[in-house]
Amino acid sequence: MTALETRHLVKRFGGFTATHDVSLSIRKGARHALIGPNGAGKTTLINLFTGVFAPTSGQILLDGEDITTLPAHARVARGLSRTFQINQLFGDFTPLDSMMLAIGERKGHGRRFWRPLAADRDVAEEAVATLEQFGLADAMSNETKLLPYGKQRLLEIALAIAAKPKVLLLDEPAAGVPEEEREEVLAIVRALPEDVTVVLIEHDMDLVFSFADRISVLAAGALFAEGTVEEIARNPQVKAIYLGEDT
């Protein structure tokens, strides 16, 4: 069963084709990595998945349903969440504030802004439990901007999980994380719930090879190769265009 699929997806910016006839199938529960050299079109593809960009042509299906023309928030409501390469957190909020907002949003409390969120015991309990699961219990009442960077990346992932996604798009979760915090981030990424399909966009080959069960390689906007970790690792053309270049 397919969780996320593209059919002949094309995205042009003026005369430049950033996504070139990409047909991709990501099965339910997969740990699927999307790799490729700089400028290969990974971020563009994520922006097409999430509704930031409308494709020039082609289709996107989530759980077998066509979401190609749905706005971004409707895709989140259908179960597609993402994290960002660059920190998008509210620095002045505490992790607990952010988590309660995220859970409240999922539960449809967002429209009742006049109601004190703290009054909602269910939301608070779930927020604390989720923060604990992501190793953030000790830090939950500090301002987010004061947290170590690795903890901030974990908070981003925790907030995306709070939306209870079917598919989680992880955009370089370990990017910029200092060496001493890296293992904690990787351990949490590896321990993400099994029923959530994870699509990992990553430059770090150690993380890709230790995490993914399937890899798609993009080059110049097109799908260049796809296979298991072993197949991709020994594919000479992939080595030539990508692995040899960056690692």
Ligand X SMILES: Nc1ncnc2c1ncn2[C@@H]1O[C@H](COP(=O)(O)OP(=O)(O)OP(=O)(O)O)[C@@H](O)[C@H]1O
Cβ within 8 Å of residue 140, ≥6 positions away: 94, 95, 96, 99, 128, 131
Name the 3-class secondary structure at 185.
Answer: helix
Contact residue for ligand X among 15, 38, 92, 116 (CB under 6 A): 38
| 130 contributes a contact to ligand X by CB under 6 A | no
Minimal distance, residue 119 CB to ligand X, in Å? 42
Distance CA 98, CA 100 (A): 6
- Residue type present at position 98: S
Amino acid at 39: G
34: contact with ligand X by CB under 6 A:
no
Which residues lie across from 66 on neighbouring strands? Answer: 61
Task: Give the nearest distance from C-beta 13 to ligand X in angstroms.
Answer: 3
Among 44, 130, 152, 216, binds ligand X (CB under 6 A): 44
> Binding residues for ligand X, how many (CB under 6 A)?
11
Backbone angles phi, psi at 49, to 5 degrees: -55, -45
**36 binds ligand X per the rule CB under 6 A:** yes
Contact status, residue 185 vs residue 173, Cβ threshold 8 Å: yes
Told to check if 16 binds ligand X by CB under 6 A, we report: yes
Residues 49-68 that bind ligand X (CB under 6 A): none
CB of 174 to ligand X, least distance (A): 14
DSSP 112-177: -TTS-GGG-HHHHHHHHHHHHHTT-TTTTTS-GGGS-HHHHHHHHHHHHHHT--SEEEEE-TTTT-
Binding ligand X (rule: CB under 6 A), the pick from 39, 71, 91, 176 is 39
**Shorter beta-carbon distance to ligand X: residue 84 or 209:** 84
Of 26 and 99, the one with the shorter C-beta distance to ligand X is: 26
Q: Does 40 bind ligand X (CB under 6 A)?
A: yes
Q: Rounded to the nearest whole angstrom, what is the least distance from the CB of residue 38 to ligand X in the complex?
A: 4
What residues line the site for ligand X (CB under 6 A)?
13, 16, 18, 36, 38-44
